[in-house]
Amino acid sequence: RSFAGEASIVAGRVLELANDPEGCRQVQRALEAALDDESRERIALELKGNVAEAARSPYANFVIQKCVTTLPPHAFSFIFEELMAEQVLTFAKHKFACRVLQRLMEQGVRPQVDRLLEALLGHVVELSRHPYGNYVVQHMLAQGSPEQRASVTEAVTAEAAALCRDTFGSNVVR
């Protein structure tokens, strides 16, 4: 199907479709098939005001991730801002939202990534022991600035013995 076809199917229904098992795939296809960033941005902006809810959704989180991976950082800044407006630690510990934070760390511009990591740096050990948070810490090590990586390493090293024995913490220590 052409982009025009995909776009017309999802237009005005992105939030509704994003929360549906098949609909979320339609929206992702429309984002991939879009002819330009402006078209992708029109689709993404239908999620504005609902990003926190979408990030926690078993289906819509994939749409949010696709927005982050297909749009330039300035176009997905509303996603970043809506997540940062809430307690970002809760997203880092959420089964689905943690993936959105990981994509933001990979795709965001340095000031965005820095703000996100700074908000999480005080919680490194707690996140390391968490079933989903440990993946966020691993991304902090991969995507952080040298100073941020040093802070993460310092926090992990201080608790290395305990983290090595922890089911999830051991993933970070490795």
Query: Which residue's entry shows tokens 């992702």?
Result: 28
The Cα–Cα gap between 57 and 96 comes to 7
Sequence-ordered list of residues with C-beta below 8 angstroms from that of 32, at least 6 positions apart, any chain: 66, 70
pLDDT score at 54: 98
Same domain, 15 and 94: no
Residue ending a domain, among 54, 69, 86, is: 86
pLDDT score at 2: 57
Same domain, 158 and 98: yes
Same domain, 61 and 111: no
pLDDT score at 7: 67
Same domain, 104 and 68: no
* pLDDT digit string, tens, across residues 72-106: 999 999 999 999 999 999 999 999 999 999 999 99
Same domain, 115 and 54: no
Residue ending a domain, among 46, 67, 86, is: 86
> In total, how many domains does the chain have?
2
* pLDDT digit string, tens, across residues 33-76: 999 999 999 999 999 999 999 999 999 999 999 999 999 999 99
* pLDDT digit string, tens, across residues 114-173: 999 999 999 999 999 999 999 999 999 999 999 999 999 999 999 999 999 999 999 999
Sign of the CA dihedral 138, 144, 147, 148?
negative
pLDDT band at 3 (very low <50, low <70, confident <90, very high): low
* pLDDT digit string, tens, across residues 7-16: 677 989 999 9
Range of the domain at 57: 1-86
Q: Do the beta carbons of residue 113 and residue 150 sit within 8 Å?
A: no
Q: Do the beta carbons of residue 63 and residue 46 sit within 8 Å?
A: no
150: its two tokens: 């040093």
Same domain, 9 and 72: yes
Same domain, 93 and 71: no
Q: Is 91 exposed, middle or buried (0-12, 13-18, 19+ CB in 10 A)?
A: buried
Q: Do the beta carbons of residue 24 and residue 31 sit within 8 Å?
A: no
